[in-house]
Amino acid sequence: MEAAVKRDFELEQKLNKVDEMLEKYKGQRGALLQALQEAQGIVGYLPLEVQKKVAEALNITLSEVYSTITFYSFFNLKPRGKYQIRVCLGTACYVRGANKVLDRLEKELGIKVGDTTNDAKFSLDACRCVGACGLAPTIIINDEVYGRLTPDKVPEILQKYE
């Protein structure tokens, strides 16, 4: 119970910071991307409470805010893990077995693409290309690129982050 109370208090503090930040964008419809980026920087993702605050501050509809968030891949509707894993599913990686690497990651982490582990340690996403085709198949964990992967290498890589 204490952890839940602490999380609620921390979220409330972050929401207050979002309110303060939004003051500089009041009524500026064209500031939507900047406001969302800053809000995500404060909260870590863009829950409904934040979306409502942004819509109200910029005097736009909630549906405009939501459609922008879901259009751009760098915005998150769910909390993200400390370590964000992106699996490249571009042509070169896919042909060389990226789908099998992704399957192993899902199995090892116990989550699907788009989800975060219960301990908030890992988030798992798929992307179209990381620009490292010569190393296919590849994954990126935060800013670290891992290439020439096989499913059997996944546990060893994840162990580095435990």
- The string of pLDDT tens digits covering residues 74-133 is 899 988 899 999 999 999 999 999 999 999 999 999 999 999 999 999 999 999 898 999
Give the Cα separation of 33 and 69 in Å (integer).
9
Interval 45-72 mean pLDDT: 96
* CB 138 within 8 Å of CB 149: yes
pLDDT, the chain, mean: 93
Strand partners, 26: none
pTM for the whole thing?
A: 0.72
Tokens of 119: 């301990």
Amino acid at 68: T
pLDDT of residue 13: 94
